[in-house]
Chain A
Amino acid sequence: MSEINELYQQVILDHNKNPRNFGVMDDATNTAEGHNPLCGDQIDVYAKVENGKILEIKFKGAGCAISKASASIMTTLIVGKTVAEAKGLFDDFINIVTADLSDKCDTLELGKLAVFCGVREYPARVKCASLAWHTMMKAIQKSELDNAPVSTEDMEITI
């Protein structure tokens, strides 16, 4: 099952089993809800944002291993970053799972995100991997008035 190991790497299996920053945050300043109607995956992202900086971030939800691990890893990368830096990571992530970065995937340049290089080979799973990231972006960019949940069906992902 060599190809499988590319998708279900140990890191992903570990984050799936022991998700980091998992749970509700009562004093969140920003929250958003994400939903993938195709498979029923659902996620809530909570963040504490002050002066443009993400001080804390948590998530809760039900989903497949790819979506859960992706959410968990996302929180570990985003915490402590500015909103602008988070946007940069978001762009990197979307590139990794949708565009051909195979040369970069072999280097260390991508850091923790490199475990998602395998996802691109499974177009049906790209939405699983990106749900948490889209929801995070929605949360941190959001003003009080804007409370509509994000859906993978509204996303502009080119597969």
Chain B
Amino acid sequence: MHTKVIKSIDVESVRKQFPILGITVHNKPLVYLDNAATTQKPLSVIDSMDKFYREYNSNIHRGVHKLSQLSTSKYEKSRQTIQGFIKAAEPEEIIFTKGTTESINLVAYSYGLMNLSTNDEILISHMEHHANIVPWQILCQKTGAVLKVIPINDDGELIMEEFYKLLSPKTKIVSIVHISNSLGTINPIKEIIDAAHAVDAVVLIDAAQSVHHASINVQELNPDFLVFSGHKVYGPTGIGVLYGKRAILESMPPYQTGGDMIKSVSFERTIFQDLPQKFEAGTTNIAGAIGLAKSLEFIDSLGIENIASYEATLLNYATEKLSTIEQLKIIGTAAHKSAVFSFVLDCAHPHDIGTLLDMEGVAVRTGQHCTEPLMKRFGVPATTRASFAVYNTYEEIDVLYNSVLKVIKLFS
């Protein structure tokens, strides 16, 4: 690996780019620590979408008129920006979807239904988001395939020995989260991908929590599919990405059918478009694609290594500071961990903590984080999760700390 010089982040100038960070909640300055649920959006993203609707809104791939050409070219340029960001070989390997959930469903239905049959196996892990569990369960019901689950240890790390035991020539799909949204665990996906390929399984990486925290090069990493959502990477909601290797995408039938994805239709027969249109039926989220490209440019402008290194210092600071609270137990203590801080308190339920923190202006997520099996694994009904982004500060972690102390005082 090449070594990069880590530059420090000028957090004040970053914050100025996010209008929402200036608001107050319950008369307290907003401390937004719910970034794993969705990130806030910089002005460049908001403005790019505003400009689309104000200045050249029109449908893509359809009109010969000026505006349609402009929006088509912006949409396709956005695809190239995404291709560049994850270092895909070709823009046609980037499919726009609604988000991570739709991307996984697309693969499960299109690839899965075509390729799986009775007694084939699909391998996921115990820390998956429901979006990376349920589509596979349904696929199993439809095909007779079997879902296998890689267990995790008490720190919230995959037990790799068990992974190797579960992996076999029966394994047809391995679908794994890169960074866990509930625990922050960074999984050894390169090792998993290589091992899965050795038994000829295809691999999907759920990168919903990782493309904005870790540099990804799909050609080096070599997954067959990689998926993420715009709204978690400083971009808009309703847009996401399915990356897939060209040969595999070409072999797959369309997921949805209709306009924009066909070459010709007669009542007898339809010829589908080539990639990527084959998987983009109907009018897509054009403004979303444009905004998503801008959000990735925002990340590039700071440098993803710099972002990752700054977030690591935030996580360390939070871990050191909040660990001093005796009643507090951290859920997720993996050696390799990203900017997620999940915890429980002896004296207070996460729901009460969430409401009380909200009164202090602190936005956190409380609940099961769409990972119910994981909560059961740790024997907790739910957790409180603070998750950090590049615009968070040490002072905000101090506010979190003081607010947690107030909760403890109220409940003891």
Q: Which of A124-142 contact B (CB under 8 A)?
A: 124-125, 128
Q: Which of B26, B355, B375, B411 contacts A40, CB < 8 Å? A: B375
Q: Which of A73-130 contact B (CB under 8 A)?
A: 122, 124-125, 128
Q: How far is the CA of A3 from the CA of B28 in the complex (A)?
A: 13
Stretch at the interface among B155-163, B291-299, B345-353: B345-353
Q: How far is the CA of A13 from the CA of B366 in the complex (A)?
A: 20
* Chain A residues, Cβ within 8 Å of B352: 8, 64-66
| Shortest beta-carbon distance from A27 to chain B in Å | 29
Report yes or no: A7 in contact with B368, Cβ–Cβ below 8 A.
no
Question: Within 8 Å of chain A (Cβ to Cβ): is B1?
Answer: no
**With A1-B406, A13-B411: A41-B355 Cβ-Cβ less than 8 Å:** no
Report yes or no: B351 in contact with A66, Cβ–Cβ below 8 A.
yes
B interface residues, how many (CB within 8 angstroms) = 19
| Shortest beta-carbon distance from A19 to chain B in Å | 13
Q: How far is the CA of A65 from the CA of B412 in the complex (A)?
A: 12
**With A39-B366, A39-B367: A3-B26 Cβ-Cβ less than 8 Å:** yes
Report yes or no: B410 in contact with A64, Cβ–Cβ below 8 A.
no
Report yes or no: A41 in contact with B381, Cβ–Cβ below 8 A.
yes
Q: Which of B336-383 contact A (CB under 8 A)?
A: 348-352, 355-356, 359, 366-368, 372, 375, 381-382
| Shortest beta-carbon distance from A48 to chain B in Å | 28
Q: Which of B140-196 contact A (CB under 8 A)?
A: none
Question: Within 8 Å of chain B (Cβ to Cβ): is A62?
Answer: yes
* Chain A residues, Cβ within 8 Å of B411: 13, 16-17, 65
Q: Which of B368, B375, B410 contacts A8, CB < 8 Å? A: B410
Interface size on A, as a range, is: 20 to 34
Q: How far is the CA of A16 from the CA of B375 in the complex (A)?
A: 23
Q: Which of A1-50 contact B (CB under 8 A)?
A: 1, 3-4, 7-8, 13, 16-17, 38-42
**With A38-B367, A40-B382: A64-B26 Cβ-Cβ less than 8 Å:** no
Q: Which of A43-77 contact B (CB under 8 A)?
A: 62-67
Q: How far is the CA of A73 from the CA of B89 in the complex (A)?
A: 63
Q: Which residue of A lies closest to B406 (CB)?
A: A1
| Shortest beta-carbon distance from A8 to chain B in Å | 6
Q: A16-B411, A65-B352 are in contact. List 20 more A-B contacts (CB 8 A).
A: A1-B359, A1-B406, A3-B359, A4-B356, A7-B355, A13-B411, A39-B351, A39-B367, A39-B368, A40-B367, A42-B381, A62-B381, A63-B351, A63-B381, A64-B349, A64-B351, A66-B351, A125-B351, A125-B355, A128-B351
Which positions in A face B, CB cutoff 8 Å?
1, 3-4, 7-8, 13, 16-17, 38-42, 62-67, 122, 124-125, 128
Which positions in B face A, CB cutoff 8 Å?
26, 348-352, 355-356, 359, 366-368, 372, 375, 381-382, 406, 410-411
Q: Could you give 17 example pairs across A and B, Cβ below 8 Å?
A: A1-B359, A1-B406, A8-B410, A13-B410, A38-B367, A39-B367, A40-B368, A40-B375, A40-B382, A41-B351, A41-B381, A64-B349, A64-B352, A66-B351, A66-B352, A67-B351, A124-B355
